[in-house]
């Protein structure tokens, strides 16, 4: 059983004193406690304050699990480089790994010549269109693409 961070809901190894994702101090978890589902991962997301016709990536696996990355611009860079729009600090991620580009029909993920490749739904891709619910894997990180549609006609 893991110690779940009350700040970011990251599952830390049992016996940890601080969250390895956000650094918050962890409270003691007893072995007989019931483990609950992470609402940011296991429940439908409702974004009341999201602008219409936008999209986001939700970190499903890896450090910072549950984090949401809004895809506001025409290009979102993903990589281990500190100036990346989506900074994924792990050796399995190339410094300039991939990008998510807005197109006239939606969003595409484009591999930037990474060493470990970029996968969409477990398929290695150089470029692929993204649909709501697609899982993008960059190194050991799995990011779920969520398309937030506008209610306007």
The average pLDDT across 35-41 equals: 45
Mean pLDDT of 73-83: 93
Residue owning tokens 């500190």: 82
- For the chain, give the percent of residues with pLDDT over 70: 76
**Tens of pLDDT, residues 123-151:** 999 999 999 999 999 999 999 999 876 54
- H helix count then E strand count, the chain: 1, 13
Phi, psi of 40 (to 5 degrees): -75, -15
């Amino acid at each position: 059983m893991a110690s779940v961070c009350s700040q970011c809901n990251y599952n830390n190894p049992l016996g940890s004193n601080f969250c390895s994702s956000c650094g918050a101090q962890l409270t003691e978890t007893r072995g007989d406690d019931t483990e609950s589902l992470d609402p940011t991962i296991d429940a439908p997301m409702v974004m009341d304050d999201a602008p219409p016709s936008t999209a986001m990536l939700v970190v499903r696996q890896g450090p910072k699990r549950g984090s949401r990355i809004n895809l506001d611009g025409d290009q979102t860079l993903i990589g281990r480089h500190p100036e990346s729009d989506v900074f994924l600090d792990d050796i399995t991620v190339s410094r300039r790994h991939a990008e998510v580009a807005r197109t006239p029909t939606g969003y595409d993920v484009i591999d930037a010549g990474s060493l470990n490749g970029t996968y969409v739904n477990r398929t290695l891709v150089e470029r692929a269109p993204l649909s709501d619910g697609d899982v993008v894997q960059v190194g050991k990180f799995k990011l779920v693409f969520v398309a937030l549609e506008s209610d306007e006609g």
